[in-house]
Amino acid sequence: MGMYPEYMVAPIREDLTSAGFEQLMTAEEVEQVLSSKEGTVLVAVNSVCGCAASKARPALKMAVASSEKRPGKMITVFAGMEQDAVAKAREYMLPYPPSSPSIALFKDGELVHMIERYHIEGNELNRIVDNLQGAFEAYC
């Protein structure tokens, strides 16, 4: 059971799923994707907070839409909702502390790029987009 009513988070989920992200609901789904040792996976830890709405989700959508190189797979988990799925994703993000929102890029099973909340909330949208595009260029 999540912290928020589903009707409240449904449009927030759709903000990323409509851009090609797959919403993962269980720890098993997260494990299946992130245990793969091949390809690139972009993970967005979504949130109801203002910096997710004004910076993280727009930056993710802009970076993906405008980049020549993109991750092979894009997934999202929702902080405060599917707690087991989020906890499993965060295990793969260690040694970084839990952060919502946050964005992680994995290549061949290794965490290669991490954007924590503090990189998002006090930053300009275009700088976050540039950060993501640079990671895509380097690793995808």
Task: Read off the pTM.
Answer: 0.95
pLDDT of 55-75, one tens digit each? 999 999 999 999 999 999 999
Residue 108: partners with Cβ closer than 8 Å, 6 or more residues away:
37, 38, 39, 40
φ and ψ at residue 102, rounded to 5 degrees: -155, 165
Instruction: Please say whether the beta carbons of 16 and 9 come within 8 A.
Output: no
- 51 is an active site residue: yes
* Ordered structural domains, the chain, with CATH: 6-139 (3.40.30.10)
Mean pLDDT, the chain, integer: 95
How many distinct helices (H) and strands (E) make up the chain? 7, 5
pLDDT of 4-37, one tens digit each? 899 999 999 999 999 999 999 999 999 999 999 9
Reduced to 3 states (helix: H, G, I; strand: E, B; else coil), residue 22 is strand
pLDDT attached to residue 50: 87
Out of 16, 33, 51, 104, pick the active-site residue. 51
- 140 is an active site residue: no
First to last CA, the chain: 35
Out of 13, 19, 31, 49, pick the active-site residue. 49
